[in-house]
Amino acid sequence: MAWSDGLEEGTQAYEIASSPNQHVRVIAGPGTGKSFAMKRRVARLLENGIEPSAILPVTFTRVAAEDLHRELVCMQVPRCEELVGKTLHSLALRTLMRHHVLAATGRTPRALNNFEIKPLEADLAVNHGGVIEVRKKIKAYESAWARLQRDEPGYVQSAEEADFERDLTAWLRFHRAMIIGEVIPQLHTYLATNPAAQERTEYSHILVDEYQDLNKAEQGVIDLLSDNAEVCIVGDDDQSIYSFKHAHPEGIIDWVATHNNADDLSLEDCRRCPIQVVDMANALIAHNVNRPVNRVLAPMEQNGAGTVSIVQYHTLNAEILGVLNTIAELIDQGVHPGDIVILAQRGVIGTPIYEGLVERDIPVRSYYAQSELDAEGTQFRFALLKLFVNREDRVALRWVLGRDSNNWRTNSYRRLRQYCDTNEATPWETLVQIETGDLNIPYTNTLVQRFTAVRNEIHQLENLVADNGITPVIDALFPDGDPAVRDIRALALETLAANDEDDRVSFLRELTSAIARPEIPTEIEEVRIMSLHKSKGLSAPVTIIAGCIEGLLPQEPKANLPLAIREAILEEQRRLFYVGITRVKASPAEGKPGTLILTYSQQMPLATAMGAGISPASINYGEANLLASRFIREMGQAAPAPIAG
């Protein structure tokens, strides 16, 4: 298929696909077909014979990266299967792994698992004011990097911060690891300080989706990679919902000014949503006062009005029941379960709906985070697996040595580490020496006991390795039938099947990344339940948003924050709701008008409210009184009048 098939010359979509400008910026509202136009641009490049390896399509999430790849393959563009959409993060890890880069940075790009950060916190807590304080300081460190604060003129670091940073990086260097927030900044530093680096001219074409979700460091990396490249960025500041990740949506606004002679293109026709939903979205987002441009989504006549209902229930239980009944009715009427998406900002609302659907035998899938590594026992086995693959995995060793202690045995570990530092020994070999009596370090008895236990376990695992590879090791670590390890076992076996059994290192690398990756089925057969953040980038003929109450949507900002910050948080919450309602897809020709249902309730048990971090308007005999979300009011005449359920 030719890249321009079905693209009308002179339209913005055609311009996006065809512009030869060095810099192209596209501002595109929800459902306006930005991904479509981007794909056509990639198709044009490939058809013109550009090497796939010289094209870098960057997305924010893995889901989006895989999505892009899949759709390009579907277009049957020549050599498209060689083109791999990347997340900036995976690109950074791969680049930092290159030998010459490793040599230049002196840092190992081995990212810490969430659970592995605990001993790091405990080790630093001793000299830096306790675990909570350390956590704050790590956050500040990551945030300074993410926002490239150090590059700002006049940036001064306090002695305390400098102290902390020195100890933190010393820990990370010793343990040959990085915290996740360092990955992109490390690449940024490498590129910025090595203007002659091959990486800066590796690409001739860079395409960035959801640019408003990138933080300053990420945006900086794009600039540093594009010495030689035509760059096309796409995004929408009205859909910026990642401030907690230090996203820098101003970057997309300023981009035309900071990049010479850039094309400034935009897409306004909302091809996805029914007319009424577009009107509601416009009315809602107009309440954000800090918008650089008051852009308006244009409704499309052929999409039809759609069906929208707003329903208030008496209690949370009634709301959940109401949603369940609505879904059951829709399915009875012939709606495919895969066409229904339920958005709820808290597990306390989403999970009962999920359980209710399971009970009614309606196929359903929940996307609330539940990590394979949640259970402590699983973490231990995963750490064992890491040590089985590599005895010198110092992070995993540190973790198993401190496990089961409320201070992670920081005192004895400090002695061990000191010895290693002064004698340039590795922790593993040092512990072996203490164990055999060749060496004595005082106050390390428990540590060595732990070590012996772990070493024995690994020894046993090693004995299991047979002609048929390491499958028995998986069986031993993640036994069949143990519900606590069911998910990780399945992932491990899957990974094993796709890998060379003898290559432990690549097996572990693949498994680690499989754990981090949310599964995305190609064919959707079930009702999907997820948070509003997760819904970004997808659309569904029936979208239900439950729990539209004050305190949840919008979330109440902490009262002690300055007014300007509280207002910024509120505006982001409004954008989140804007993203939510614009998931609705109208396909009248297929008998799918596009259905949006917003629900809320007047009361929920106080305990539920507290557990979900909702501060109630008032309390009445153990029941929290709830108010309708202000966002419902803000949609004004564009929205239908709420009804009682």
- Report the interface residues with DNA, using CB under 7 A: 60-63, 87, 89-90, 125, 130-133, 180-181, 183, 242, 244-245, 345-347, 367-369, 404-407, 409-412, 443, 446-447, 516, 518, 530-531, 533-534, 555, 607, 610-613
> Closest separation between CB of residue 251 and DNA, Å?
16
Q: For DNA, which is the closer residue by CB, 276 or 582?
A: 582
Instruction: Write out the DSSP string of 264-312.
Output: EEEE-B-SSS-HHHHHHHHHHHTT-S--SS---PBP-GGG---EEEEEE
> Closest separation between CB of residue 409 and DNA, Å?
4
Tokens 């290159």, residue located = 98
> Closest separation between CB of residue 412 and DNA, Å?
4
> Closest separation between CB of residue 255 and DNA, Å?
21
Q: For DNA, which is the closer residue by CB, 130 or 292?
A: 130
> Closest separation between CB of residue 353 and DNA, Å?
14
Q: How distant, in Å, are the alpha carbons of 69, 295, 416, 540, 593 from that of 276?
A: 33, 17, 66, 16, 11
Q: For DNA, which is the closer residue by CB, 496 or 532?
A: 532
Q: How far apart are CA 270 and CA 32, in angstroms?
A: 5
Q: For DNA, which is the closer residue by CB, 111 or 335?
A: 111
> Closest separation between CB of residue 589 and DNA, Å?
33
Q: For DNA, which is the closer residue by CB, 293 or 369?
A: 369
588 phi/psi in degrees, rounded to 5: -55, -35
Asked whether the beta carbons of 245 and 37 are under 8 A apart, the reply is no
Q: How distant, in Å, are the alpha carbons of 179, 286, 330, 414 from that of 395?
A: 11, 49, 51, 14
Q: For DNA, which is the closer residue by CB, 347 or 642?
A: 347
State how beta strands 623-625 and 595-605 pair: antiparallel
**Three state DSSP letters for 339-392:** HEEEEECCHHHHHHHHHHHHHCCCCEEECCCCCCCCCHHHHHHHHHHHHHHCCC
> Closest separation between CB of residue 90 and DNA, Å?
5
User: Which of 451, 635, 449, 455 is closest to 545 using CA atoms?
Assistant: 635
SS3 content of the chain, % helix, strand, coil (to 5): 50, 15, 35
Q: For DNA, which is the closer residue by CB, 347 or 472?
A: 347
> Closest separation between CB of residue 316 and DNA, Å?
15
Q: How far apart are CA 74 and CA 95, in angstroms?
A: 29
> Closest separation between CB of residue 109 and DNA, Å?
12
Q: For DNA, which is the closer residue by CB, 89 or 381?
A: 89
DSSP E strand stretches across 362-486: 364-366
Q: How far apart are CA 210 and CA 191, in angstroms?
A: 23
**CA neighbours within 13 Å on the CB side: how many for 532?**
28
User: Which of 238, 114, 98, 229 is closest to 180 using CA atoms?
Assistant: 114
Q: Any alpha helices (H) in 126-268, and if so which ranges? A: 131-146, 159-174, 183-193, 216-225, 250-258
> Closest separation between CB of residue 203 and DNA, Å?
19
